[in-house]
Amino acid sequence: MSNTKLANIIKKFRNKKIIVIGDIMLDHFIRGNVSRISPEAPVPVVLVKEEHFLAGGAGNVAVNITGLEAKSILVSVIGEDIFGSTLKKFLSDTKVNTEHVVQDKTRPTTKKTRIIAEHQQVVRFDRESKTRIDQVLSKKCMAHFKKVAKEADGVILSDYGKGMLSNESIKEIIRICNKHKLPVCVDPKTENFRKYKNITCITPNNKEAWEGMSMIPKEGEEEINELGEKILKTLKAKSILITRGPAGMSLFEKGKKPARIKATAKEVFDVTGAGDSVISVLTLALASGASIKDAAKIANFAGGIVVGKLGTATVSQEELLEAIK
């Protein structure tokens, strides 16, 4: 496919409506300098210079979609706390539709705090609950999803294993997507890997693909191809896209030979959030009428751009169009 045709697909992203359903979290970054060791314990003393918050998990996927000039509708759960309010405000400020994000009094908002000294992460501490969300709230989220699915162009399941997506909700989401003929793409949690059946595409990285199938990782193209075909058959999926870092991507489609897509990154600074950008662009391309192979090519460019940035990053239409040139 010519670069012009790929560019035309990207231009169709504008105003497409994508539902992101899954676990959202607040990423808290504290950056500073270290010049001495604490007299209280053998640990560095970080003099704080900068502090900021970002949306993580499914929240970052939703932010990626709005960054591409499309519309993202988020269905998720936060705690009834200050961190939930901070997260919801950040999402609203980045034009994510948060009216279907419900509050749970019984659990905290998932929050990951990273202390970064110079350019080195010193420690990360997490505040979260991994228990399944309350059944009443789960039904409420599903009611929200059914309502917005009628007007959507695509759906992303962003599973971080924090209790938002249960066996029943995964099945029901996929059933509704297939009923409305919506492309449904999954960023998987390995524990739930075999539950994502009858989907449009699943985007595990190399490690997640092997672990999801409870197999010992092996090197080589033949081994990856065998793995991809096995996942395709097990999940009865239309396609599987395994992201492989410097080795690019491997795409598997029902009834077709595996396709290898070479990596496009010129320099790799940080892989944080690359998977979120890949699934966002992939789903938007499918929603814009692209074939899965062309959607994967565009998503590959997105991944190459994001790993060249520091921190949890997003990609714009302009950057994508420039990269494809």
Catalytic residues: 276
DSSP label at 53?
A: E
Instruction: Specify whether the CB–CB gap between 178 and 48 falls below 8 A.
Output: no
β-pair partners for 3:
none
Residue 237 vs residues 41, 88, 143, 211: alpha-carbon distances, Å: 53, 33, 25, 18
The strand ranges marked E within the chain are 17-22, 24-37, 44-57, 71-79, 97-104, 111-117, 120-127, 154-158, 184-187, 201-202, 239-243, 249-253, 259-261
Contact 306, 313 (CB under 8 A): yes
SS3 232: helix
User: What distance in Å separates the CA atoms of residue 205 and residue 220, rounded to the nearest whole number?
Assistant: 15
Q: Which of 286, 287, 303 is nearest to 295 (CA)?
A: 286
Question: What are the CA-CA distances from residue 41 to residues 36, 37, 118 (Å)?
Answer: 12, 8, 20
Structure tokens that stand for 64 in this block: 């990626």
Residues 6+ apart with CB under 8 A from 110: 23, 24, 25, 26, 56, 57, 126, 127, 128, 129, 160, 162
∠ at Cα 158 (154, 159), nearest 5°? 145
Contact 174, 99 (CB under 8 A): no
Task: Give the Cα separation of 238 and 217 in Å (integer).
Answer: 24
